[in-house]
Structure 1
Amino acid sequence: MKVARVEATPLAIPLEQEFHWSGGTQRGANLVLFSVHTDDGVVGYGESICEDPVAVVSYGLLMSKHFVGHELSHVEAMLRDVWTQGRWRFWPQFTQLTVSGIEVACWDALGRSVGVPTNVFFGGRVRDEVDYFGFLQGDSVEQLAAHAGELAGRGHEVLYVKLGRAARDDEECVAAIRDAIGPDRLLRVDPNEAWSVGEAVERIRRLEQYGLDWVEQPTPAGDVPGLAHVRRSVGVKIAADQAVFTTRQLLEVLRHEAADVVVQGSHDAGGLLPFRQQATIAAAHGVAVNRHAFMETEISFLANLQVASTIPNLTIGNQVMHQLLAERLVRDPPELVDGRARVPDAPGHGFEIDLDAVAVAHERWQRDGPYSTLEER
């Protein structure tokens, strides 16, 4: 069975409410849905996250020449072609964010073609369900604390909040959240690179009294020695996120002992296979892995759920963000029960695509263009 063609569909999907983080305010998700069609008529789906779908569609369709005509099961060979032919390797992070959608679609098509869930291709499950965090939403201390109490009441053992916004007092937010969830639940914070090394040490030390589980990527991603310094200087675990896209970057973080946890997923790593490979490398260094999420749909959530179920060194409180979107692209979307999702047994990634919903999101993009993540001035 060979890859006959690859199609790319730009999408714009609104969020349930405005999303606030150190990089701005987001009102919708920009995505590209990739579909891989085989010569036997099987179709698999994956998606790429992006700022501008036009760029990703253009790159993705050029990259698809490395896939079309190949045996569907030869995913690693197709990825090798991407990294050894042409100039894709010159822009590794953008290449990985783009090619991941095609790679995920290949695995989905392969699972559908042979009638098995895709976790089979990555060593099989070591767990039947995966635990996810409660992602706090709101733009005020009161909103965040109220949402924290609500999510804790739904059974989430791990709560997660974005910090690092200049207009908001981080300590006041963290104190209110801790008060709302009680002393026993885990609380993780993510400044998204907002602090310098010195600021990170000072602010984390001030927040330690609230019993943080870990601080995710407090400093700029390119400064791995700085991140290592922060880790040595505070009493809270440090998670590396934006510092790790490529395997070389992962090895740099591990060499400097810069993180207790690596936050990674298919979008960052360039596909499900590289994600699983990087998790194995982290395990060899005694480092845990937490699944990273972007503004994505259930397509990415379920694909990564399949692989996360095979990772022995996976943490609890993995990231989940598809629930922030106001529309669903799959029929019978997954549900979290007590903060956990069961791994589907259906072929492929375990979903049925809703092509009518895809059409609505595509028409919105055609009509209105992409959402902006920049603050309006």
Structure 2
Amino acid sequence: MRITAVTTTPLAIPFERPFHWRSGVQRGANLVLFAVETDEGVTGFGESICEDPAAVEAYGRLIARSFVGRSPGDVEAILGDLWRDGRWRFHPRFSLQIVSGIEVACWDALGKGLGVPASTFLGGRVREDVDVMGFPQGDTAEELARESAALAAAGHRVIYVKIGRPGRADVEVVGAVRDAIGPDPLLRVDANEAWDVPAAVDAIRSLEAFTLDWVEQPVAADNVAGLARVRRSVDVKVAADQAVHTAPELRNVLEQEAADAIVVGSHEAGGLWRWRQLAHLAEVHGIPVNRHACVESEISTFAALQALSSIPNLTLGNQVMHQLLAEPLVTTPLAQDGGTVRVPEGPGLGFELDDDAVARARERHASQGPYLSVDR
């Protein structure tokens, strides 16, 4: 099996309701669907997150030249050539987000061609179900508390709340959520790099009374020493998220003992293969891994489940965000029971694309352009 072409489709998909986080409000997702076509008539699909699909499409077509003519299973060799011979390494984080969509599509095509799930190529499964977070949405403390209670009642063992939002009192929000869910569910909060080191220490200490499981990325991504200082100064676990995209970045976090957990996913790592390697590096250091979600569709969730099934050092409450979208891009339902999702057993990533939904999302992008990532 050889890759004959890599095609791109820009997509714009609205959210069911506005998504509030520390930088503002977002009302929809911008994605690029990558299709890896092969000489055996098998096509694999993956997606890249983005601010503007036009930039990802243009860059993606250049990167795709390293894939065409190769077997979709030659991922290690392709990535080696790509990073050695191109200038992609000068802009690693942007490049990794694009590579991830093509790389994921390769595993989908390979699995479909051989009739096996993609987890077969990632070390095989150590679990058949993955625990996922409950992600309450809303603007006010009352809205977030009400939805958190419903998610906990539905069986989610981890509730995940965005904090660090201007004009919102974190103590009020977190306190209301904890009161609503009771003492048993784990409560995680994500500040999305909202604070400097002293402010992070003060903010986390003010929230310790609410029995947090961890605080995710409280300081700037490139301030690993500061992250380590925060971790030493508080009684709550600290998770690194935006600080980790590459193996050298993860090594730096681990060597500085800056985090109790690593939150990372395929979009940051450049695909399922490198993500699986990052998880193993964390495992060697005795640190657990949690899946990071982005503004994405079910395509990313199906892909993530294949990798998550193979990671031994996995936490509860792995992140998913496809549920925020108003319309799915696949016809295959996820088998979810409360807070757990069954890993698909079908070939490749285990989903069937909804061509009609893709066409609507493509037309929406063509007519209105991309959604603003921050709509204040």
* TM-score clears 0.5: yes
Q: Distance in 1 between matches of 2:189 and 2:346?
A: 35
Output one character per residue of 1:242-268: Cα deviation in whole Å (capped at 9) or x when no partner. 000111100110010000000011000
Residue number in structure 1 paired with 2:155: 155
Q: 1:229 corresponds to which residue?
A: 229
Alignment partner of 1:205 is 2:199 = no
Please give the per-residue CA displacement for 1:282-334, whole angstroms capped at 9, x wherever unaligned: 00001100000001111100101010010000000000100000011110321
Distance 2:109 2:81 in 1: 20
1:82, 1:28 → 2: CA distance?
32
Q: Which moved more, 1:72-81 or 1:296-305?
A: 72-81
How far apart are 1:14 and its partner, in Å?
0.2
- Opposite residue 373 of structure 1, the aligned amino acid is S
Aligned partner of 1:136 in structure 2 is 136
CA apart distance, 1:353: 0.6
Q: What SS does structure 2 have at the residue aligned with 1:26?
A: strand
Letter in 1 for 2:361: A
State the identity %. Answer: 60
**Divergent runs of 4+, >3 A:** none
Q: Please, which runs of 5 or more residues in structure 1 have no aligned partner? A: none
Aligned-partner Cα distance in 1 for 2:94–2:275: 16
Aligned position for 1:281:
281
Paired position in structure 2 for 1:294: 294
1:342-353 aligned at under 5 Å gives the runs 342-353=342-353
1:192 pairs with 2:192: yes
Q: Which amino acid aligns with 2:287?
A: V
The residue aligned with 1:265 is 265
Rounded Cα–Cα distance in structure 2 between residues aligned with 1:367 and 1:118 = 35
Q: What's the RMSD between the two structures over aligned residues?
A: 0.7
1:339-358 Cα deviation digits (max 9, x unpaired):
11001110000000111110
**What displacement does 1:373 show?**
1.9
Deviation at 1:338, TM superposition (A): 1.4
Q: For 1:323 and 1:238, locate their aligned partners in 2 and report how far apart those are by CA, in whole Å.
A: 26
Cα drift, residue 336 of structure 1: 2.2
* CA deviation vs aligned residue, 1:60-85 (integer Å, no higher than 9, x gap): 01000000011222111111111011
Distance in 1 (CA, whole Å) between partners of 2:331 and 2:373 is 28
1:85 aligns with 2:85: yes
Matches within 5 A, 1:242-253: 242-253=242-253
CA distance in 2, matches of 1:230, 1:59: 37
Amino acid at match of 1:138: G
Q: Is 209-218 or 67-76 further displaced after alignment?
A: 67-76
- Number of the residue aligned with 1:97: 97
Q: Kindly report which structure 2 residues correspond to 1:53-68, keeping only aligned pairs within 5 A, or say none.
A: 53-68=53-68
Deviation at 1:374, TM superposition (A): 2.2
> Per-residue deviation at 1:335?
4.0
Q: Is the 8 A contact 1:25 1:374 kept in 2?
A: yes
* TM superposition shift of 1:143: 0.2
* Alignment-mate amino acid for residue 296 of structure 1: E
Alpha-carbon separation, structure 2, partners of 1:322 and 1:190: 18
Task: Give the alignment's TM-score, normalised by structure 1.
Answer: 0.99
CA distance in 1, matches of 2:345, 2:152: 28
**C-alpha separation in 2, matches of 1:116 and 1:15:** 33
1:40 pairs with 2:40? yes
Q: What residue identity is the alignment partner of 2:209?
A: Q
Taking the aligned partners of 1:335 and 1:147, their CA distance within structure 2 comes to 21
How far apart are 1:375 and its partner, in Å?
2.9
Q: TM-score, normalised by structure 2?
A: 0.99
Is this contact kept in 2: 1:298–1:333, CA < 8 A? no
Tell me how far 1:228 sits from its aligned partner. Answer: 0.2
Between the aligned partners of 1:6 and 1:208, the Cα distance in structure 2 is 49
Find out whether 1:313 has 2:310 as its counterpart.
no
Instruction: Indicate conservation of the 8 Å contact 1:109/1:348, yes or no.
Output: yes
> How many Å separate the matches in 2 of 1:262 and 1:122?
19
Deviations 1:85-121 (A, max 9, x none): 1200100000001110000000000000000000010
Q: How far apart, in 1, do the equivalents of 2:304 and 2:162 lie?
A: 22
User: What CA distance in whole angstroms lies between the structure 2 residues aligned with 1:115 and 1:125?
Assistant: 16
SS at match of 1:352: coil
- CA separation in 2, counterparts of 1:70 and 1:91? 24
| Number of residue pairs matched by the alignment | 376
Q: CA deviation at 1:24?
A: 1.5
- The 8 Å contact of residues 19 and 138 in structure 1, kept in 2 or not, is answered as yes
Contact 1:331 1:351 in 2 (8 A): yes
Alpha-carbon contact 1:133-1:320 (below 8 Å) kept: yes
CA distance in 2, matches of 1:145, 1:32: 34
Residue 103 of structure 1: SS of its match in structure 2? helix
CA drift of 1:42 comes to: 0.3
Query: In the TM superposition, what is the alpha-carbon distance from 1:19 to its structure 2 partner?
Result: 0.3
2:282 partner amino acid: A
Secondary structure at 2:258 match in 1: coil
Amino acid at match of 2:192: N
SS in 2 for 1:353: coil
